[in-house]
Amino acid sequence: MNRSILILPLLLLSACGNREAAAPPAVAETSTAPQAAPAAPATSGDAVSSISPHAGLIDPAPNSQQAAGAAGSIDFDLPQAWQSKPPSSSMRLAQATIQGPGGPADLAVFFFGPGGGGPVDANIERWVGQMDGAAKPTPETFETNGYKVTWVDVKGTLKPSGMGMGPSTPISNARLYGAVVEGPGGPWFFKAQGPDSTLGPQRDAFVALLKSVRKK
């Protein structure tokens, strides 16, 4: 009888041991989701911050924007109060909205390929011609970080435009800042326009943006 009592526990232990041996080994969890493809490099449109904010638009500096050309690219710093926006067309490399008491004004940065976009003087004349009743201003020129900047400040009645940047009806008491930035891979074209009461107080901010232009 004692022998029978000993056999039963041994049989039970043997059965448990066999079940543990038969259990498959644990497998570490692995993800079956496909690996994400690397992001494609950003490409510029056909024309020209920030804005990267513009727009160009990208750090290391806060509100730093990028504007890329076929043979080079630039960074510039968007003023803190200006709101970077995605470009609304392929003609723009960077874009921003400027809020003020007269309503919103717009900044756009354009690039037409190395050497493209026409002579500096022709662009200055074109910007002045977009304003009715404007006294002909004297363009200002300065050097910054190896780039030559020529810009103009125009006040008057902004004419309607069908070129993608401009009002559908005339805007009286308007202001326009236009700048050509010349340098390797350029030129780039910066244009801000909108109500004078909004853009007038932003004149120094626009000049500071231009002075921040530098090689990417």
Torsion of CA 97, 98, 99, 105, to 10 degrees: -80
Distances (CA, A) of 188 to 29, 92, 150, 160: 53, 10, 11, 24
Name the one residue in this structure whose structure tokens are 């050309």. 69
What CATH superfamily is the domain 64-215? Mog1/PsbP, alpha/beta/alpha sandwich (3.40.1000.10)
Domain assignments of the chain as residue spans, ordered by start: 64-215
DSSP 92: E
- Distance between CA atoms of 195 and 175, rounded to whole angstroms? 6
pLDDT 10s digits, 84-122: 999 888 878 899 999 999 999 999 999 988 999 999 999
> Residue 84: what pLDDT?
95
Amino acid at 176: L
Q: What mean pLDDT do residues 68-84 have?
A: 81
Yes or no: say if 102 and 200 are a contact pair by the CB < 8 Å rule. Answer: no
Name the nearest CA neighbour of 76 among 123, 142, 144.
144
pLDDT above 80 for 6? no
Any idea which of 40-49, 100-109, 193-202 has the lowest mean pLDDT? 40-49
Q: What three-state secondary structure class fits 50?
A: coil
> Residue 178: what pLDDT?
98
> Residue 89: what pLDDT?
82
pLDDT band, very low/low/confident/very high, at 51 (cuts 50, 70, 90): very low
> Residue 64: what pLDDT?
60
